Amino acid sequence: MLGKWMEQEIASQPTLLRKNCAQYYSKARDGLSSLPPQMILLVARGSSDNAALFARYLIEIHLGIPVSMAAPSVVTKYKAHLKYPPCLAIGVSQSGSAPDVAEVLDSMQQSGHQTIAITNREGSLVGQSANAEIFLNASEERSVAATKTFTSTMLALYQVVRALGAKLEDPAEFLPDESWLQNQRSAAELVAGELNRVSPIFCLSRGYGFSVAQETALKLMECALIPAKSYSTADFEHGPKALAGPGSAAILYGEGGDNLRSQGCKIIQPPRFNGPEEISPIANVMYGQWLALLTARTRNLDPDSPSFIQKVTETL
């Protein structure tokens, strides 16, 4: 069956998230200094970068600490030495094999800053480059597309923000269950085939949900070979919405969409999550994962072994 590993890994998420939820929090508390940072640097690539974007909103809204999303080439290619205030650098790499993430963490550690790695491989290059490590414990991910490691990373980052002192809900009682997962699949099945008949496709959201829009666009491209572009709903108003006419579609995470409907754009929205807004991206991204898998199957594509890309990508 096409995408059998991706399907199994999507389906495993409710169990994995519940199993690891508490230990992510305890690992974060053990790995963080008692001195609060004046700034937080998030270092990641690809899906990990989308998960880090989720953390940025949590940190700035609930801790009031400014966040920078690292451009690793500043260090790896241009050999720049940045003068950060007392900083916490969080490196995210699901494989743990990203040399650029590792190099930035190593540079930060040598400059005296706190560093913590989040990976799904213990003793990895990235993990060894940090003072502390949160192991995702999500077992091997065999599909090229990141699914269970993506939601695990989001949950680990949420727990890091809680461990830093944010007054956020304990996520344990709000994590998506099997019923939610199947509900998302059923909703995605209704529209997966339609994505072959619309263009362009936009993935839209704002705030906490922007990370999910980014990840959904990435999944559609890598799994189903469908060009998709993600935007903040605010940025979308500054020009790109001119393309949202008849024949186009917008996958919208959040409210609204009436103005786009009036332009002739088809609006696709997942079922509503009835829980804290801060936790909703962990649940809502499962819709985007199903959408990518099911759309790939309508195109006779196997997202477990897509063309031209591989599971571990090493960039400098």
| Same fold for the pair 4-173 and 177-298 | yes
Q: What CATH homologous superfamily does 177-298 map to?
A: Glucose-6-phosphate isomerase like protein; domain 1 (3.40.50.10490)
The confidence score (pLDDT) of residue 33 equals 83
28: which residues sit within 8 A by CB, 6+ positions away? 116, 134, 156, 159, 160, 162, 163, 164
All structural domains of the chain with their residue ranges: 4-173, 177-298
70: which residues sit within 8 A by CB, 6+ positions away? 41, 42, 43, 44, 89, 104
CATH dotted code for 4-173:
3.40.50.10490
Which tokens sit at 113?
A: 């800053």
The confidence score (pLDDT) of residue 256 equals 84
3: which residues sit within 8 A by CB, 6+ positions away? 143, 223, 293, 296, 297, 302, 303, 304
Question: With contact defined as beta carbons under 8 Å apart, do 140 and 158 qualify?
Answer: no
The confidence score (pLDDT) of residue 316 equals 60
The confidence score (pLDDT) of residue 311 equals 55
Per residue in 86-97, pLDDT (tens digit) is 999 999 999 998
Per residue in 183-232, pLDDT (tens digit) is 999 999 999 999 999 999 999 999 999 999 999 999 999 999 999 999 99
Confidence tier at 313 by pLDDT (50, 70, 90): low
Rounded to two decimals, what is the model's pTM?
0.96
